Every structure is written in C-alpha cells, then in structure tokens.
Amino acid sequence: MSQKYKVYLWVSVSALAVFIFYICFQTIFAKEEGRIRNFILQGRRAAEARDIFACAGMVSNNYQDKYGNDRAILIYNAKEFFAYYKRILIYIEKMEIKLNDSKKEACVELVAVVLVESEESKKEYIFEKDKGRFQIKLVKENNKWQVQELELFEPINIMGQEIS
C-alpha cells in the first residue's frame, strides 16, 4: 500500500473515532433538552415506522388529556391510525422545549407537517400550517421521558373525522 493511501486511511479512521467519541459523549452527557429532542425524534421514527409497541412504550401510565383520553384509548387510537394509513411521513418544522425548574417535567410545542397515504393510495395532510401546531407534556418517570398529555391547538381531520 502506498504512503498516500496510508495517510488517507489514517485520517479516515481518526475522523471515524472522533465521530464515535462525539456521539458517545452526547449520549452520556447530553443536557435534558437534548434528551427530550432525541425522545421526540425517536417518537417520530416510531410513528413513521407504524411501530405501535415503540409508541406505547413512550406513553406514561398516567396519561390523561383534556379530551378525556387515557393511555389505553390513546394506544387504541394509534393502532387504528397505523392500520388505516399505510405510509406516514413527518417533518418537524419547529420544536420549542420548556423545562420546569426541577427538570422532571417539560412542555414541548411542535409545528409539524404530517403527510399520510391510506390503503386506497389517497394522500392527505393531517398537520400543516396552523393545524400543525400541538403541545406535548412530558414527565420523567424511572429516569425516562414519557408522554403525559397531548394537546392540539387547532381541529384536525383524521380518517374522515374531525378531532379537536
């Protein structure tokens, strides 16, 4: 192997090592805002994959929203949603995180665009523009962030039904 390729190989391996160290450092020493951001992105990936088990694991046992839904109802509705739509794409335009002083509770306001495709290949936007604003209240349980409440700011249309 020529000297030139050895230098390229050494630089590549060094860059990879620095990158892996950075990822490990961020995971171990990340601030709570970073952990919450990762939690939200993990939820986005689970929803896009239509993974009901991953989504259910992110919801607090004490979930209760102002619409009268508890954890079981929310998970049932997510299961129906995943069965109705064969494809889900989520683009988060804005994420604003507010932690309380104890860093055990947080409120995340999101603006997102959600494009879905039904079994009949009908595409529709569920969240977009002003209808894309919603709020998620999180609580830290057993050293993990969990969804405690979900609040929509505008009514939306899902599976032919308006939800407000």
Q: Whole domain around residue 126: which residue ranges?
A: 32-163
Pairing state of beta strands 161-163 and 156-158?
Answer: antiparallel
Q: Which of 157, 155, 150 is nearest to 75 (CA)?
A: 150
Same domain flag for 98 and 148: yes
The reply to whether 66 and 107 lie within a common domain is yes
Q: Are residues 133 and 63 in the same domain?
A: yes
Same domain, 107 and 117: yes
Same domain as 43, residue 84 = yes
CA neighbor of 74 nearest in space, from 61, 89, 91, 86:
61
- Neighbouring-strand partners of residue 111: 94, 133
Structure confidence by residue, pLDDT tens digits, 71-125? 999 999 899 889 888 899 999 988 999 998 888 999 999 988 888 888 787 887 7
Q: What is the rounded distance in angstroms from the CA atom of residue 142 to the CA atom of residue 140?
A: 7
Give per-residue pLDDT as tens, 44-84: 999 999 999 999 999 999 999 888 889 999 999 899 889 88
Considering the domain architecture, whether residues 5 and 84 belong to the same structural domain is answered as no
Count of the separate structural domains present in the chain = 2
Q: Which residues pair with 116 in a beta bridge?
A: 88, 124
User: Do 11 and 65 share a domain, yes or no?
Assistant: no
Residues 110 and 149 in one domain: yes
